[in-house]
Amino acid sequence: MTYKKPLCLVIGAGGVGVLTAYSLFKADKSRVALVVRSDYEKCLSTGYNIQSCDYGEIKNWKPDLIYRSVEDAAKSGEFFDYIIVTTKNIPDGPSPVYATIKPVIKSNIKNWPSLNSSCSIVLIQNGIDIEHEVIDLLHREGSAKNKFNLLSGVQMIGSIKVGQCEIKHQSKDSVLIGPFDPNDQEAVKKSHEFVKMYDTPENFVTFDHNVRFSRWKKLMYNATINTMTAIVHLDYSRCLEFGKNTTEAGIIRPAMNEIMAIAKSEGYEIDPETATILIEADRDLVYKPSMLVDVEKTQLMELEVIIGNPLKVAKKNNVATPSLKMLYYLLVIIQGRIKEKQGTLIFDENTARVVQ
């Protein structure tokens, strides 16, 4: 019996997704399928050009399999051992993660190879409590004989799509992978497997037994500095400079303290030094965090997973969060502003009401 490499489906062909797919491809321990929407034709004909700080200049790279959509992947007849989601996570947008992956979940169930088989869903995404909509989906679609593992990934990477099939990768790919549920032994095993499968001499990937803690630590930045820049529509260093005596002490520190308090209510003690490290790290860079970029591009923000969900935990555990709440409520309005500009929300000026 010949060893058959596992098949990975990477969903999300932006800067991050393509790099993730390329790392898997480079490690050469799996076959890599990529869902490529808008760049499909170009990808099929000439492949990707990647300028990577980790891998150098890559010309005309093509993944093993290319699909135009998740639906097409589902129709392919393939069973995907790993479904890796690197899209933005926007439950209040038109494509929540559960809806995005549903076609391949259903096709995988149909194409299930054997009772010993399993499928691992790897969410390499921002935020917290992102697994629940997937768990709900699996409850609706799956059955006892379909063993799905839920893997949680936190990635630090600077990689952007600068043109059709043109990727610019600017800061080292660093990934933490572990089970959403630390007690799920199969998910632990598959996480280790994924780490091996992803590992290249150039990138940095490691098993993390408690990714939830890592997610809280990442929220120290995303729920505070990222949200603030999106609200005031200015890069981070301008925020610090224009509010010389107030931005750090009055916005960032209180918000970070609240994230620490929420994490602590779950038993996670974030080192208070983290706040200072994060505040100082980009002080001298004119850096635009992801939510600010979204606002500038009239794209929906990852609002719920980055700040809405942490506030739900705070409410459940009775943690006071006046700063985060105000940031969140202002962003809820701004998200509506983006939806109206995108045309997915219609406001009637005559009645002063949302009509759709």
Q: Among 14-22, 50-58, 133-141, 347-355, which window interacts with a second copy (CB under 8 A)?
A: 347-355
Backbone φ, ψ for residue 255 (5° rounding): -65, -40
> How many C-beta atoms surround the C-beta of residue 313 within 10 A?
17
Q: Is 293 in the site for a second copy (CB under 8 A)?
A: no
What the block records as the tokens of 246 is 């107030």
The kind and range of the H/E element at 50 are: strand 48-52
What minimum distance in Å lies between the beta carbon of 356 and a second copy? Answer: 12
Q: Give, as ranges, the residues between 55 and 94 that touch a second copy (CB under 8 A).
A: none
Q: Is 223 in the site for a second copy (CB under 8 A)?
A: no
Render 166-210 in DSSP notation, one character per residue: EEEEEEEEEEEEEESSTT-HHHHHHHHHHHHHH--SSSEEEE-TT
Asked whether the beta carbons of 148 and 180 are under 8 A apart, the reply is: no
Q: Is 297 in the site for a second copy (CB under 8 A)?
A: no
What the block records as the tokens of 177 is 């992978």
Q: Which residue has the tokens 């947008």?
A: 93
Residues 221, 226, 228, 229, CA torsion sign: positive
The Cα–Cα gap between 76 and 107 comes to: 9
- Per 3-state DSSP, the chain is made up of helix, strand and coil in percentages (nearest 5) of 45, 20, 35
What minimum distance in Å lies between the beta carbon of 228 and a second copy? Answer: 7
What minimum distance in Å lies between the beta carbon of 314 and a second copy? Answer: 13
Q: Is 323 in the site for a second copy (CB under 8 A)?
A: yes
Considering only 162, 164, 242, 269, the residue that binds a second copy (CB under 8 A) is: 242
State the amino acid at position 280 in one-letter form: E
SS3 category, 112: coil
- Binding-residue total with a second copy (CB under 8 A): 44
Q: Is 326 in the site for a second copy (CB under 8 A)?
A: yes
What minimum distance in Å lies between the beta carbon of 332 and a second copy? Answer: 5
Considering only 114, 116, 183, 351, the residue that binds a second copy (CB under 8 A) is: 351
Q: Among 22-30, 113-121, 164-172, 326-334, which window interacts with a second copy (CB under 8 A)?
A: 326-334
Q: Is 237 in the site for a second copy (CB under 8 A)?
A: yes
What minimum distance in Å lies between the beta carbon of 269 and a second copy? Answer: 24
Q: Is 243 in the site for a second copy (CB under 8 A)?
A: yes
Q: Is 117 in the site for a second copy (CB under 8 A)?
A: no
Q: Which is nearer to a second copy, 129 or 340 (CB)?
A: 340
Considering only 130, 228, 256, 260, the residue that binds a second copy (CB under 8 A) is: 228
Q: Which of 227, 254, 235 is nearest to 328 (CA)?
A: 227
Q: Name residue 353's beta-bridge partners.
A: 348
Q: Is 309 in the site for a second copy (CB under 8 A)?
A: no
Asked whether the beta carbons of 287 and 235 are under 8 A apart, the reply is: yes
Q: Which is nearer to a second copy, 251 or 270 (CB)?
A: 251
What the block records as the tokens of 68 is 């135009």
Q: Which is nearer to a second copy, 123 or 324 (CB)?
A: 324
Q: Give, as ranges, the residues between 251 and 270 that touch a second copy (CB under 8 A).
A: 251, 254
- In order of 8, 17, 167, 289, the CA distances from 163 in angstroms are 25, 15, 7, 20
The Cα–Cα gap between 1 and 86 comes to: 33
Q: Among 20-28, 55-63, 161-169, 329-337, which window interacts with a second copy (CB under 8 A)?
A: 329-337
> Footprint of a second copy on this chain (CB under 8 A)?
228, 231-234, 237-239, 241-244, 246-247, 250-251, 254, 283-286, 322-323, 325-330, 332-337, 339-340, 345, 347, 349, 351-354
